[in-house]
Amino acid sequence: MSTMTTTLPDTQIARRAMIDSQLRTSGVNEEYALARMLAVPREDFLPADKAAQAYIDRAVSLGEQGHLAAPLFYGKLLLEAAPAPTDRVLVVSGGTGYLAALIAPLVGTVTQVSAADAADLTGAGEYDLVVIDGAIEQLPEGLAAALADNGRIVTGVVLRQVTRLATGRRIAGQVNLQPVEDLGIPVLAAFAAPKRWTFA
C-alpha cells in the first residue's frame, strides 16, 4: 500500500531563483545585497493566503495593511543605500517589516516607523540613513529633518505618474531627491502631495 506525501515548496530554491532571474539579470550583483535577499524568507512577511506569491517579480498588495514590494526594488534599494556598520537607520515600513529585516544586520541601529507615523515625524538629525519602503509624492519636512547632516535617503518617488527609485543627501538643511531609474514601486498614500484646485 502506497502512501501519499505532500511537501512544502523549498523556499530556499525559490530565493535562489529570485536572485538569479530577477536580481542578477537586472544589475544587482553586490554580495551583501544578494546575501541578505537570500537569508530573509519573503513568505514570512505575508499572510498564509499570500505566501505562494512571495517570489513573483511584482509587488504583493496587502490592502490597507500595506504591501511587499517586488524583489528588485529591495535589491536596488540596498545597493543605493550602501549601508555601513556604523549607520543609524530609520526604516519607513510598507507594512510588513521586510525591509528592516533585510538591512538590520548591515548597520549599527535600526528604528522602524509606519508610513503614517513617518509622515508626521519631527526629526532632529538623528539618522545617517533613511530608507522608505514605497514611493512618495512629497518628502515631509520632519522626515527630511530626521537626517543628520550629509545623511542619505533612498526611496521611491512618483514623478509624472511614474514611480522611480531615488536617492538624496541632507546638505545645508536641504534634501534634494535625484531619480536613479524607473521601477514598479507601490505608492504610499501617507506621502501624497496636496491636491491642487483647477478651474475649467
| pLDDT score of 7 | 42
Task: Inform me whether the pLDDT recorded for 197 exceeds 70.
Answer: no
Share of the chain above pLDDT 90, in %: 86
Task: Inform me whether the pLDDT recorded for 1 exceeds 70.
Answer: no
Q: Average pLDDT, whole number, for the chain?
A: 92
Question: Cα–Cα distance between 29 and 62 in angstroms, integer?
Answer: 29
Q: State pLDDT tens for residues 109-158.
A: 999 999 999 988 887 899 999 999 999 999 999 999 999 999 999 999 99
Task: Inform me whether the pLDDT recorded for 3 exceeds 80.
Answer: no
Q: State pLDDT tens for residues 34-44.
A: 999 999 999 99
**Domain annotation for the chain: domains and CATH numbers:** 11-191 (3.40.50.150)
Q: At 88, is the secondary structure helix, strand, or coil?
A: strand
Question: Cα–Cα distance between 137 and 160 in angstroms, integer?
Answer: 10
